[in-house]
Amino acid sequence: MKKNYSICVLDAFTSNPGDLSWDALRQFGELQVYERSPEEKVIERAKDADILLTNKVILDEDLIKKLPRLKYIGVLATGYNVVDIHAAKAHNIVVTNIPAYSTDSVAQMVFAHVLNIYNQVQYHAQEVKKGRWSGCRDFSFFDKPLMELKGKTMGIVGLGRIGMATAQLALAFGMEVIALTSKTKDDLPAGISPVSEDELFRKSDVLSLHCPLTPENKGFVQKEKLALMKTGAILVNLSRGPLVNEEDLAWALNNDRLYAAAVDVLSKEPPCSDNPLLAAKNCYITPHIAWATKEARARLIAQAVENVRAFVEGHPINRID
């Protein structure tokens, strides 16, 4: 096995802000790790690399043409739209991704959001800190609705790994589960029913998105579909920001057409200050962290190492080229 590869990690910080290690990559050669790589620095840092690892740094056709030594691109994520796959293939560059590393973490985050909304955990904890419980005449106080999940309907768009893990958690809470999926009833576990798109929007008390972004479904959650939903329903998007028309979602929230929304992804990240969801009523936004538990990031780095190992040994795995 050749061990003198030049390896460069272009944007290491989000995957590993310092609590994990990239050192396992050193067994394959010389390693350079950069926390972040601004566009004007990418060619300088990548020009001598045989192996490049990237999370969000874009490797387009023009840049790939300028990297004649490059033999391998490892995407430090499941989605791989940051790489021009056709250009990589034309230059005989192997491209891999990291599948399924964050399944349990993302499914867990769905219910972190849902339970926060149903039980108003954050709100009441903040009110206690303000002294409202200390000054209360009763042993308990609550001034926002508190609800149970049992018996409610969980709608899921997409039953891949994350969608299925979310469905199993919903079943454990005693929810009914319906899904927009290409799978038939016979293909699905007990308790999960396939439905049409309109039926999904109409029936869901909680609607969670778990599908890849395609040209066909970009912005498909828009005013017409949101208007079908129950006024007490919740929309959850931990998948891809552009699946949702953000202006329409803000309209639905601000006009009480929807009870709440929980989103971990936005159409532009970081968001512009005028993103309508930032000021929308009952919109709970987290900064794209559903994937980022330490356990998930450790799996990501471990799989990245195994992807590189397989490449240098001549039998690449998790190829997307």
One domain for residues 45 and 152: no
Same domain, 77 and 114: no
Per-residue pLDDT reduced to its tens digit, 251-276: 999 999 999 999 999 999 999 999 99
Report d(CA 149, CA 206) in Å as an integer.
9
What residue type is 97 in one-letter code?
N
Residue found under tokens 């995407």: 75
188 in the same domain as 61: no
> How far apart are alpha carbons 59 and 45 in whole angstroms?
13
Q: In this predicted model, what pLDDT tens digit does every residue of 145-199 receive, in sequence order?
A: 999 999 999 999 999 999 999 999 999 999 999 999 999 998 999 999 999 999 9
Number of domains comprising the chain = 2
Residue by residue, DSSP assigns 77-140 as: SS--TTB-HHHHHHTT-EEE---STTHHHHHHHHHHHHHHHHHTHHHHHHHHHTTTTTT-SSS-
Percent residues over pLDDT 90 in the chain = 95
pTM for the structure as a whole: 0.92
Does any domain span residue 318?
no
- The confidence band for 321, taking pLDDT boundaries of 50, 70 and 90, is confident
* Residue range 23-66, pLDDT digits in tens: 999 999 999 999 999 999 999 999 999 999 999 999 999 999 99
113 is catalytic: no
91 with 137, same domain?
A: no
Numbers of helices and strands, H then E, in the chain: 10, 12
Residue 83, CB-side half-sphere exposure with 13 Å CA sphere: 28
Q: Is residue 210 part of a domain?
A: yes
Q: Answer yes or no: do 113 and 254 share one domain.
A: yes
Question: Per the residue annotation, which of 45, 202, 288, 309 is the catalytic one?
Answer: 288
Catalytic pick among 113, 176, 210, 240:
240
Q: How does DSSP assign 1-48, residue by residue? A: ----EEEEES--TTT-SSSS--GGGGGGEEEEE-S---HHHHHHHHTT
Residue range of the domain that includes 36: 5-101+294-312
Task: Say whether both 143 and 97 belong to one domain.
Answer: no
317 found inside a domain: no
Does residue 155 share a domain with residue 94?
no
3-state secondary structure of 290: coil
Active site residue 44: no
Rounded to 5 degrees, what angle do the CA atoms 59, 65, 71 make?
75
The answer to whether residue 40 is catalytic is no
CA atoms within 13 A on the CB side of 247: 1
